[in-house]
Amino acid sequence: MTTESKNLIIKSSGRRTAKGIAIILIVMVVGAAISLAYKDVWSKYPPLRVLNQKQQPQTPVETIPTGEKRTFNLVFKESEDFTQLWFEMDGVKNPDIEVSLGDEITINIVNSGLMPHAFGVVSDPNDVNSVIFNSAIGSANKPLSPGMSESATFKVTKPGEYYYICLVPGHALQGMKGKFIVKESKGSAVTTPGTGIETSTPTSAETSGPLIVAEGNTLTIDMQFKESEDFAQLWFESNGEKNPTIKVKAGTQVTINIVNSGLMPHAFGVVSDPNDVNSVIFNSAIGSANKPLLSNNSASTTFTADKPGEYYYICLVPGHALQGMKGKFIVE
């Protein structure tokens, strides 16, 4: 080691050390004094972290709709006795369908039942004419036939709680109804099990009816639309008789006074084909598939049966003839 490098080493003296300690002590004392003097400040205000959290809005943040594409595969289902009707998705009955504002929805639907059905998102589950978003697949008088499948793609443009139902009048009441929720903020499409309508087992439906014969050239019949409590059986009733056969001579003027004593909507018509609600003849209809006669209402029709043949009178609500609302109408 050289003399020069030895001189570079700085040596501390005792006096210098004492001075340093004194400075440190003064800083500590002053700091403690300040801290104590402003004691209130530290306890009165919450930490900044907490303040920041409180400043965040309490309401959910609105997000711009992304217009995501969502696909739902639904099936129209019926119990064997037609007492229960429902939609099924991935084995779940009438699931709640939850989507977000602006989403593009595709509904693929299969009719795996025996009755005709139609799909629509509606604002009022009791009104088949309240379809929104242009979401309908088929309609009350042009439903999807058994075995057929169809799709609809539409945009959800208004937030709210809606329903998807079968547009055939009465079918929502029999269970074909689920919630369709359009959320304002973006969320993933969720489906949760809904509730189906549980009903009791029905007794077998009676088919043959007695005869009503016109004696003159006019005939007036008082009729009722009737339903069993579980909706398994639907029929016409006149003087306590189920679905009587009506027999008239060609040219007879027929008046039907009908009361809807059921809970479901119904419509009346003499038809050439009992499986086709659009085959009404003699201008005999009371109501129609999409404008049926509501519960407790009554209406009349008068028409001339001017063409001989074997016809039927049915309920014009699709499926109701199949459920029993059907009688023979013979013009001789």
Binding footprint of Cu ion on the chain (CB under 5 A): 266, 315, 317, 320
Q: What separation in angstroms does the CA of 45 have from each of 40, 48, 49, 50, 51?
A: 9, 8, 11, 10, 9
Strand partners, 21: none
Residue whose CB is less far from Cu ion, 219 or 316: 316
- Tell how strand 326-331 and strand 309-315 pair up: antiparallel
Pick the closer one to Cu ion by CB: 183 or 242.
Answer: 242
Exposure class string for 277-287: b at 16+ Cβ within 10 A, else e? bebbbbebbbb
Indicate the residue among 226 and 320 with the shorter CB distance to Cu ion: 320
How far is 326 from 319, CA to CA, in rounded Å? 11
Shortest distance in whole angstroms from residue 170 CB to Cu ion: 6
Q: Nearest approach, Cβ of 154 to Cu ion (angstroms)?
A: 29
Cβ proximity to Cu ion, 183 vs 320, nearer residue: 320
75's tokens: 């099936």
Q: How far is the CB of 248 from Cu ion (least distance, A)?
A: 23
Name the DSSP class of 130. Answer: -
CA 31-37-40 angle, 5° bins = 120
Least distance to Cu ion, CB of residue 80, Å = 20
**Rounded to whole angstroms, how far apart are CA atoms 150 and 168?**
16
Smallest distance from the beta carbon of 227 to Cu ion, in angstroms? 8
Residue among 149 and 257 whose Cβ is closer to Cu ion: 257
Residue 86 pairs in a beta bridge with 77
Query: How would you class 261 by CB atoms within 10 Å of its CB: exposed for 0-12, middle for 13-18, buried for 19 or more?
Result: middle
Work out how close the CB of 93 gets to Cu ion at its nearest, in angstroms, rounded to a whole number.
24
Nearer to Cu ion, 105 or 168 (CB): 168
Identity of residue 116: P
Q: Which is nearer to Cu ion, 183 or 266 (CB)?
A: 266
Buried b (16+ CB within 10 A) or exposed e, 196-217: bbebeebeebeeebeebebeee
What minimum distance in Å lies between the beta carbon of 125 and Cu ion? Answer: 18
